[in-house]
Amino acid sequence: MISDQNIHQIFGKIGKSVLETSFLGKGEASTVLKITANDGIYALKTALYPERKEKVLNEAEFRHYFIDHGLSCVPAPVYSDSEIFPNGAVIYKFVDGIKPDFENYENLKQMAHILSQIHQIEYDITDDGFHQIMKLYNLMEKTIQKIKTNFPHLVNDSITSAFTNALNEYNQILNSSKEIFTTGINAHLHGDLSDNFVIDQNGKIWLLDWENSEYGDIVDELCWFLYANNVSPEDQANFFREYQHLFKLTQQIDFEGISRLYYTSTPVLDICWGMDQMGTKLDQNLEPPGRKLNDLTISASEWSKFYSDSTSSLIVNGIKELKQSLLE
């Protein structure tokens, strides 16, 4: 619970008076409030527990980095604090908008422009594209092991078997597709383009929540954005063409050929990230598991698009068993 006193204190430190406070949203480990002050509207973001303090404060630095490099779609940090809010808090400029409709090609085209601009700020090229996607396989393997180690009470036999089978099937697909991985590019990324954007009344898209910004594989970021936002295959192809037109060095990458292999990793990582968030929130007594279990059920259903019937059934049944054990 965020106290009104703390909110008034932090805004008072920068010479502003708080007129109204309302809830904007809650992420995996932070919460965001809309604050109407005497001179305008702001967003206030704070971590829900101490271990997330560094991430909340680092996000402000990430935003400064991209703004300093000419990105105009980032709501700017106004003030950071770790005294009034021991878990860390940042005041940001507020952008009023709604989620963009990516069936509208102009919006999709604008995202291609934004991402090409982000990825060209700082990047490096590798001639070993297969090694690039093997990093994704290694991430899957490492993330699965982390879940099994940190949250053994959430991992039943069905989930364990599904993880093992998925890694084996994914590895087989990769090894049969080596010839299409010619080049890889790493760059500074936004880090989580599932739902962290709004479009304002002037049609401009703004990118929010830069907590997970990192240096990594550009194809992973592009494919996650397209997958998470249910962009149609035809529009995916148009998006890739627009992006490659703007970031010409990427024209040597067969985006359409390799994109399915990136999509295939997503349901597995979704399950792992969901279990990590749920396990952490249970440990911190932040919320009951119901909402996250529903998300895990949806992620499990996505496995059937990429994995065998037996592996898909294992994860669906495993999440169902987990749900029963946690809610009974």
Domain boundaries, the chain: 4-93, 105-327
Torsion angle of C-alpha atoms 213, 218, 223, 224, degrees rounded to 10: -10
Widest Cα–Cα separation across the chain: 62
- Top-level CATH class of 105-327? alpha beta
Predicted pLDDT at 69: 97
Angle (CA) 55-48-152 rounded to 5° is 85
What's residue 177's pLDDT? 87
State whether residue 161 is helix, strand or coil.
helix
pTM for the whole thing? 0.91
Burial (Cβ within 10 Å: 0-12, 13-18, ≥19) of residue 283: exposed
Domain 4-93 has CATH 3.30.200.20: yes
Consecutive 10-residue averages of pLDDT for the chain (328 residues): 92 97 87 96 95 95 97 98 96 97 97 98 91 92 97 97 98 90 93 95 97 95 95 96 97 91 94 93 83 93 96 98 91
